[in-house]
Amino acid sequence: METSDIITLILGIASILSSIITISLSTRYNKLVQGQVEMQIRERITNARIRYEDLIIQHQKDLQSELIKDVYESTKEEFLNAYDEACQKYLDGKVDKERFRKSYFTEIQNIVKNKSFKSRYDTQSTPYRATLRVYEEWFNLEK
């Protein structure tokens, strides 16, 4: 075997090792990014829930006021949008699906079945299609 063949072999092996290391680091980076997305989802949902619940508690007696009704509807919209965007990320595969299901299984069921949100999910023109798709995937046993 000539020196040039040995050098070519060494460079080939180094290239393969470099590729393996790059793939390994890329996989770790993707998991890190996925984890950050999941944390952002939880944070957004938590903040929307707190805002929604605080408004109900603070203004329970004033819910007849037009201004409070408008703020209440806006807060409800933000709350449902947080879940819908989380479900969009689930459907797009941007989060770990198994972990997402474990984290949000009961919450998704509760909001879709909640009497306060019934009108939002019972219409054909619902803007919350992702939430309904996830709900159907998890709870429609006929599929």
Q: What is the pLDDT of residue 110?
A: 92
| Residue 46 identity | T
Phi/psi for 64 (5° steps) reads -85, -20
pTM, full prediction: 0.62
Q: Which amino acid is at 138?
A: W
pLDDT at position 122 is 79
Calpha distance 97→15 (Å, rounded)? 34
**Average pLDDT of each block of 10 consecutive residues along the chain (143 residues)?**
73 75 68 74 80 73 69 83 92 90 92 88 85 92 66
Domains in the chain: boundaries: 37-139
Task: Count H helices and E strands in the chain, helices first.
Answer: 5, 0
